[in-house]
Structure 1
Amino acid sequence: MSDPRPVIAAVRDGRGLSDEGAGLLAHGLADGSVSDAQAGAFAMAVLTRGIGEAGRVALTRAMRDSGRVMVWDRPGPVVDKHSTGGIGDTVSLILAPILVACGAYVPMISGRGLGHTGGTLDKLEAIPGFRTALSEDEFRRIVGDVGCAIVAASADLAPADRRLYAIRDEAAAVESLDLITASILSKKLAAGLDALVLDVKAGSGAFLKTPEEAQALARSLVSTANGAGCRTSALITDMDQPLARAAGNGLEVREAIACLRGAQGALRELTLALSAECLALGGAAPESEAWELAHAALDGGRAAECFAAMVAAQGGPGDLLEHPDRHLPAAPVIRDVLPERPGKVAAIDATALGRAVVALGGGRVRAGEAVDPRVGFSDLRRLGEAAGEGEPLAVVHAASEDAAEAAAAAVRAAYVMGGGAEPGPLVRERIAP
């Protein structure tokens, strides 16, 4: 079969997507033999009729196999973590070194920020000299020598997804759970993983605001990835407030370094939970011992050593951990943001804070836009904490006085002050096969 129209018609009529049909479409998307019109019609058919679990597995495998699939031969498990995106989420920078210190290998293929959430690559590129565009030989060498590398996807990994992703936006088919699932997983599984842990965010700063939406995506991702042959589980985690006390690329790197050097807080807590899940799922440690192993790697300094080695191997300064202020750029305007009235933090619109970082120049609305690594917020107050007279809600880091003033107004609007609110659990639910 070489004509994609019967495949599209089958999906349109509710007859699902076969392995053969998924392969035809994926390879046609990759080599251009499937037209934009046909790709748009397929995306709309999936959005309106769905393809079920079997169809999701077929599409994920086919898009994974539309390009190169990496194969690793390492003495430990090859594992990774993927987050659906949030504010102040710098887990990857800490988790990868923890896993390496515990005997795993982490070939992490990451993305850039778009919309109100930051991207791991943008954060790492706030480090002078750090290179995320590596050749396959460099990628393999660093993973072999250091244990982890965090890089951008090459053009030959899941090329069908790259094309379908753009067409989905033009065809108004972005919201399809089936297509979201296949898009996320095809890229991750092309990295040749033994195990994958998903961090699915829910709350005011997440793309998925409600618990029901997060559960639906987590279950779809877990069932599909396992069906495609990769051991996978998911944690549904809280994003009703920024995960860290900083938002903005360089500022988040500073906070990740602080965590690697012993700082406490929600960022550390979630990183340890996800690290333990990766270690247990990948077989690097029994489930009963995984958290303690991750904890020891972090507190004993081995994770910090692995992070420093990765930064140096990818072109960054060798003394970043000892001298972050020497290397990470600082904004020219830094000012406190005082609340309009004292009180305790009752609620936070985390998405609004993310948008304020974008407005400062620290994020992008369209792919390809430049970002300013200096700008953002630090010292963000968390739910239930008090901000009295002279006590700031946050500190804004901006490129100009006017930008700082606008950002300060956005912070005040994002915070609801009142009697305070107890934050919910950081990990809301675990989804396993």
Structure 2
Amino acid sequence: MARLGINGLKVGILAIAMLGGALAQTLTFWSWRVEDKEFYEDIARQFEAKTGIKVVYTPYKNTEYNTILASALAAGSGPDIIHTRAYGGLAQLADAGYLLPIDAKQVPGLSKFPSSLLNAARGFKDDTKKKIYGVPFATQSLGFFYNKDLLAKAGITRLPETWPDFKAALAKIKAAGIIPLANGPKDGVSLEQIFGVIGPMFYGGTDYFRELTAGQKTFVDDGFIKALEETAALKEFFPPNYAGIGYPEGRTLFTNGGAAFFVTGGFDIAYFRDNNPKLNFGFMPAPPLTRGGRTYVPTFADGNFSINAKSKNIEAALKFLSFLATPEFGQQFTEKLAQASAVPGTKAKDPVLQQIMEQTGYYGTPFLTLVGFRYAAPTGTELLRSGLQRMILGQATGRQVAEEMTKGVATWYKPFQK
């Protein structure tokens, strides 16, 4: 009887150990979102309370993340959960076999995501294009943020309703001794964003994007060229000594109340509020060419939550992605990070963010160079940014830039090779 008691005790201890091991299962999660560490650690605690699965969130500097991740994956290691970029950034990893394809059976919430967002989580090679490799985590939209107090100071009592009216307002603001636009051309990011905001009304928005990506048109198009020219022409409203103004400098200038407008995305709302709580700002899309004309808000998926194809914790990782695809997570993401979650149906408490989300629903169009042409080098983004910088310096025309973009992208984009 004593021996049986001992054996029973051993079995009990073994069972407890096995149970403890299951409860102690840990997922590793890498990201570039250093500023969101507190949020994701809270999400990890919520998930552990529901499932008993622990998640360790490790963020790296944005500028170092891609290199660190690529090195780890190439060595056959890396985290279980990977914060992946969207479109070309994800496709490079998926095409290399580093990411696990998922579907709505494994992650039920995927069935509620629109195809426009799921397309940001697909590969680029023929054998990966139809598969999904992540749960989209955020949508971003671009437009003109404006300082209400500076507009009032310049005598602008109502927002311009047409593009000619908008340029006239910029001239009036400049004449009042106020910097009209905080953006500058130093790093090219702001130029691409300005083009993304005003370009659609010249080249035709989503209709042109579809024809372009299908190879029915190229960048050598009158509307596209006009959009390039209008973007470069805004240099007269940039800050003094604008050659030294890039995205960070422009953001700081606007946040500190130094310029009337700044072209950026909803992702900067939290920055504005955290760094200048008194900033009285709003958001507006680029006004149409004519009164009552078509309005566009360029939008894109910001990235995805993906699973390492070599993870040893696939089942647990799928449970975590399923949680990240729920309205419960999406609502917290939108409220706490002041960004638009990709989970359908979320609402924002921040009035400006909610306005952006609503206008995106009405007027959304793909942010052309990111959504369609960042899959290989030279990317459409690289060619656009450098081309606009040269236009501002008087070293290239809009047609030359459009021709260079077409030729460059055609080296890897099959529809352009017809």
Tell me which interval the TM-score lies in, with the shorter structure as reference length: under 0.3
Taking structure 1 as the reference length, the TM-score comes to 0.23
Looking at CA atoms only, which structure, 1 or 2, has the larger radius of gyration? Answer: 2
Return the structure number with greater relative CO, CA threshold 8 A, min gap 6: 2
Larger % of helix: which?
A: 2
